[in-house]
């Protein structure tokens, strides 16, 4: 629980995040509960108000998000991935290319620190990237703006780029996990999170929840997705957490970040376009589906957008979830490498 003196700052922070999320939802903007909450808290910070985010709420949000994302790795999804091996291989190469190209632009054209540029460049996993970068003490303002800019622009332009005259897919009705199974899932998630915390893994609640969800759903042990409000609550809490870490941001600072975000987006889209062409020519994928599947945007926004355009939901989910899992799996190693880089040299006597 927060300290008595932190109650009003916490209440203001939650209210600001809720206001931002509701405005984003009303405007139909992507990832409203994540991005809207983050923007709402940043606006509150810009007024000079104090914000508060207790560790308990942060950990609950990270745990719920991990469980929801891990639960998407079902036997059906794994089977779908087996249908598109060549397309997924091309996607893997494209992810690496997008990350390197975007990072190169941010480092060499705008002088960003290499680790900040790397986290800003990782495509398709905005929630986990924001959560882990905040936990590792990176410059959240830069990472958040580049990541959010990419998703916003993609959702704004892709419906015009992709023209589908007849629907080819429909939104599958997700089975909701039973209450006893959900309780068992959360117990396993908490246990793994505490284990990961004990071995000093960064964002242990995020990765503990993800491991529990993936283990129980990939094996078919606990079928069914968590209730939708769990994911909304997770994104909301992560948005508040990320926003609370963006200290000292000003309107002038936001303007200064526009060009890096735009240049990074252009570099990412250039590489993604090459991936789309390769998928269409080499793997025989339909152009519209390749465009959405290879778009370096947020997982939830891209899948929902593709389904709204009438595209094959299994193809889209296999690629976007596959990319999310690949990026999320790489994060602990990237964070460990960053920790080694900042560890004092023992031989220097520090």
| Gap between the Cα atoms of 301 and 268, Å rounded | 17
CA-based nearest residue to 227, from 265, 277, 165, 181: 181
Q: What is the CA radius of gyration of the chain?
A: 20
Query: What is 4-341's CATH topology?
Result: Na+/H+ antiporter like fold (1.20.1530)
Q: Each residue of 195-216: pLDDT tens digit?
A: 999 987 767 888 899 899 989 9
pTM, rounded to two decimals? 0.70
The pLDDT of residue 251 is 67
176 phi, psi to nearest 5 deg: -90, 135
Place of tokens 């800003």: 120
More confident residue, 238 or 169: 238
What pLDDT, on a 0 to 100 scale, did the predictor assign at position 142? 85
The SS3 of residue 74 is: coil
CA distance 319 to 337: 27
Burial class of residue 323 in the structure, from the number of CB atoms within 10 Å of its CB (0-12 exposed, 13-18 middle, 19+ buried): buried
CB 74 within 8 A of CB 217: yes
């Amino acid at each position: 629980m927060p300290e008595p003196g932190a109650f009003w700052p916490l209440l203001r922070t939650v209210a600001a995040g809720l206001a931002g999320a509701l405005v984003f939802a009303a405007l139909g903007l992507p990832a409203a509960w994540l991005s809207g909450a983050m923007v709402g808290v940043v606006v509150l910070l810009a007024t000079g108000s104090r914000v508060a985010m207790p560790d308990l709420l942060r950990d609950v949000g990270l745990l719920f998000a991990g469980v929801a994302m891990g639960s998407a790795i079902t036997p059906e999804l794994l089977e779908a991935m087996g249908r598109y091996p060549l397309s997924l291989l091309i996607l893997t190469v494209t992810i690496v290319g997008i990350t390197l190209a975007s990072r190169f632009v941010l480092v060499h054209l705008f002088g960003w620190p290499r680790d900040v540029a790397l986290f800003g460049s990782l495509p398709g996993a905005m929630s986990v990237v924001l959560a882990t970068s905040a936990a590792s003490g990176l410059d959240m303002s830069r990472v958040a703006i580049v990541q959010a800019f990419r998703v916003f622009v993609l959702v704004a332009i892709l419906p015009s780029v992709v023209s589908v005259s007849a629907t080819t897919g429909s939104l599958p009705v997700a089975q909701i996990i039973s209450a006893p199974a959900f309780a068992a899932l959360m117990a396993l998630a908490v246990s793994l999170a505490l284990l990961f915390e004990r071995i000093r893994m960064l964002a242990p609640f995020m990765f503990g929840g993800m491991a529990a969800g993936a283990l129980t759903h990939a094996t078919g042990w606990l079928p069914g997705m968590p209730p939708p409000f769990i994911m909304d609550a997770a994104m909301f809490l992560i948005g508040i957490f990320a926003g609370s870490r963006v200290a000292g941001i000003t309107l002038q600072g936001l303007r200064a970040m526009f060009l890096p975000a735009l240049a990074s987006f252009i570099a990412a889209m250039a590489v993604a376009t090459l991936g789309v062409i390769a998928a269409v020519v080499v793997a025989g994928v339909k152009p519209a589906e390749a465009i959405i599947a290879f778009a370096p945007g947020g997982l939830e926004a891209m899948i929902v957008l593709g389904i709204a355009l009438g595209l094959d939901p299994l193809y889209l989910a296999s690629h976007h979830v596959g990319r999310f899992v690949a990026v999320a799996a790489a994060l602990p190693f990237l964070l460990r490498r960053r920790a080694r880089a900042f560890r004092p040299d023992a031989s220097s006597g520090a």
